[in-house]
Amino acid sequence: MSVRDEVSDEQGVQEQVEALIDEVGETQPQPLFETSQLRGQIAIVTGASSGIGRAVALELARCGVHIAFCFLDSGGQARAEAQDMARHLRELEVRVFFRSCDVRESRDVRQFVNEAHEELGGVHILVNNAGISRDRPLWKMEDHEWESVLKTNLDGAFFFTRAVAPIMRAQEYGKIVNITSVHGIRSVFGISNYSASKAGLIGLTQSTAIELGPRNINVNAVAPGYIRTTRLTQGVPSDVLDAAREGSALGRLGDPQDVAGVVLFLCSEAARHVTGAVVPIDGGYLL
């Protein structure tokens, strides 16, 4: 090989290396778990006046996300909680839209999404959080106990997802996070309605991820284990909670904030290549 051939070979390699560096440089995420890009976005969080939904909405608001949330107006207490939540959100200097909306009612959900869209100027994030449980062995379970849990936990998420889909598809951007449960993956005695609804929500997550992925919309689920919320502390016997604590690798129950952190991650660009996933937040309960 002549000296001239060697020089031109070297130049070729150099050019290839530079092209590679340029390519890598273009796709390098800036820096990991950056949330500043969320500032100014608009999120809908269902059932956000208490527990996990409240923690999620507050965490998003701390990142500058404007919040629309709904609650079920079942009396003075629910309304007071929602108003208190709205006040906390406004203290974080974000815009807030909230009203009672029953997630089981398709028409009400559509109207809520349209109003939130108009009031806040868009919808970039949807967190399907509203959920209930009505535990009972299946041979004693009443029709209304089955139906109310399935309608709230599964139909509600479907109604909201269907209502935001055209908005997110048109803007070619969206993040949807469904709050399922470890009991949608592995059940225990007396929760056939709850387990069926949460397993269904995992199916909905995967199917929606496939359908909306081509328009740059990420759809994921988180599966909390036992999380310390009022619902949990009031509704679950203490021996069940003790067993859950002892049966998890980390030996503790979770807090709403533990769920909020993962939801925030899934809404951030650090998770832009994650879709259709179900992330357990259970301290190792499922291991």
Q: Considering only residues 43, 71, 248, 283, which one is a binding residue for ligand NDP as defined by CB under 6 A?
A: 71
Q: 152: Cβ–Cβ under 8 A, 6 or more apart, which residues?
A: 103, 104, 130, 131, 132, 197
Both tokens assigned to 181: 């449960």
Cα separation, 278 vs 25, whole angstroms? 30
Report the nearest approach of ligand NDP to the CB of residue 255 (Å).
10
Catalytic residue among 173, 194, 226, 285: 194
Do the Cβ atoms of 11 and 243 come closer than 8 Å? no
Which CB atom, from 68 or from 130, has the smaller least distance to ligand NDP?
130
Residues between 176 and 205 with contacts to ligand NDP, criterion CB under 6 A: 179, 181
Which CB atom, from 156 or from 174, has the smaller least distance to ligand NDP?
156
Closest CA to 169 of 132, 118, 124: 124
Decide if 226 is catalytic.
no
Enclosing H/E stretch for 223 = strand 217-224
Report the nearest approach of ligand NDP to the CB of residue 36 (Å).
28
Instruction: Give the contact letters, 148-177, x = binds to ligand NDP (CB under 6 A), - = no.
Output: ----x-------------------------
The interface region with ligand NDP, picked from 9-17, 91-99, 126-134, 205-213 by CB under 6 A, is 126-134
The interface region with ligand NDP, picked from 10-18, 134-142, 158-166, 226-234 by CB under 6 A, is 226-234
The interface region with ligand NDP, picked from 8-16, 209-217, 228-236, 266-274 by CB under 6 A, is 228-236
Closest CA to 60 of 82, 85, 43: 43
Report the nearest approach of ligand NDP to the CB of residue 202 (Å).
12
- Note whether 47 binds ligand NDP by CB under 6 A: yes
3 state SS of 135 = coil
Enclosing H/E stretch for 43 = strand 42-46
Give the CB-side neighbour count of residue 117, counting CA atoms within 13 A.
17
Strand order in the sheet with 278-281: 96-100, 66-71, 42-46, 125-128, 174-179, 217-224, 278-281
Residue 182 one-letter amino acid: V
Which CB atom, from 60 or from 70, has the smaller least distance to ligand NDP?
70
Cα 2 to Cα 10, 11, 13, 16, 268, distances in angstroms: 13, 14, 17, 21, 54
Q: Considering only residues 45, 63, 96, 103, which one is a binding residue for ligand NDP as defined by CB under 6 A?
A: 103
Q: Considering only residues 131, 174, 200, 280, which one is a binding residue for ligand NDP as defined by CB under 6 A?
A: 131
Do the Cβ atoms of 265 and 222 come closer than 8 Å? no
Cα separation, 57 vs 14, whole angstroms? 50
Which CB atom, from 168 or from 177, has the smaller least distance to ligand NDP?
177
The interface region with ligand NDP, picked from 21-29, 96-104, 112-120, 136-144 by CB under 6 A, is 96-104
Which CB atom, from 229 or from 248, has the smaller least distance to ligand NDP?
229
Which CB atom, from 37 or from 83, has the smaller least distance to ligand NDP?
83
Which spans of this chain sit near ligand NDP (rule: CB under 6 A)? 46-47, 49-53, 70-72, 74, 78, 102-104, 129-132, 152, 179, 181, 224, 226-227, 229-232
